[in-house]
Amino acid sequence: MLGRMQPRGVASPQFVEVADLAYPPDTMKRPPVLPAVAAICLAIAATQAGAADGAFAWPHGARAAVSLAYDDAIDSQLDNAIPALDRVGLRASFYIKLASPSLARRMPEWRAAAAHGHELGNHTFFHQCSAALPDRAWVTPEDNIDTTSAARLVEQIRLGNTMLHAIDGKDERTFTVPCGDVLAAGENYVKLIHGDFVAIKSGSGGVVPDMATLDPYAVAVTAPDGATGEQLIALVKEAGAKGTMINFTFHGIGGDYITTSNAAHAELLAFLAAHRDVYWTDTFMNIMTYVKARQSVRGKQETSH
């Protein structure tokens, strides 16, 4: 399995820890959702289909799920990622930093992405991260989560949901924790927003080891930085072998920062498009709506025995 490989600055493909992501200082300045009833119906059918061997059953016989996510709302995602996704008919999740200059300048394009089936997720207003960790010189004083109260951050996050609703009209949302930092002035703010989101991505990890025990409010992600298409596809195949899921969190595609090349990104998308029957690629919202419904169904079945 590909985990964290070599330090930043070494010219080789890698996957970095979310906490180690290095953002340029200037970037840190201040799909239809799967209906819950349909998700439950799919989950019941899949549970029955997978009951024989105890495996987590994905819709329509898929072996694994793949979540393609893109953080921060940056220009290369509009210029390169979304056109590439649309060319092969795949849906993804874009976690919006509400203070992003790209969101302000290119609002109609972000709104169009949502209308085309891509998910707009919440990634806070100002992308607050901890300045206390190593290699965090890029964190500005005003965006230091160590000096931001949990109450203030939660208030901002909820306002962010209101703003996102004004963009795409959606009432349900998922969230990605910036930098994987869950403590705001020493208090775990993520626990305070469980009720505001269907699911939450937090921290680093490779392929999900076990879907039955996955916490929907602490789903680990893999953050590529210079990875090849072959490496990305290897993680997808690993998820297929385990019958679980892989959660990619990209940033720049063919530009910007924490960059995945257009070629590597296109290679991954081509593989997923050619194997739709094997790997269910969808928005994080749709995948986790299904996962939670299936966990609920299985839990009720186990309780009844």
As a whole number, the mean pLDDT across the chain is: 88
Percent of the chain with pLDDT over 70: 82
Contact in structure between 178 and 128 (CB atoms under 8 Å): yes
pLDDT of the residue at 20? 72
Task: Give the predicted TM-score (pTM) of the model.
Answer: 0.86
Assign 12 a pLDDT band (cuts: 50, 70, 90). very low
Mean pLDDT, range 8-32, rounded to an integer: 54
Structure tokens at 282: 């969808």
Residues 6+ apart with CB under 8 A from 23: 72, 127, 138, 257, 258
Mean pLDDT, range 267-292, rounded to an integer: 98
Mean pLDDT, range 282-291, rounded to an integer: 98
* CA–CA separation, 285 and 138 (whole Å): 31
3-state helix, strand, coil split of the chain in percent (to 5) is 45, 15, 40
pLDDT of the residue at 8? 34
| CATH of segment(s) 14-304 | 3.20.20.370
Query: What is the greatest pairwise CA distance in the chain?
Result: 57
Closest CA to 298 of 37, 33, 55, 36: 55
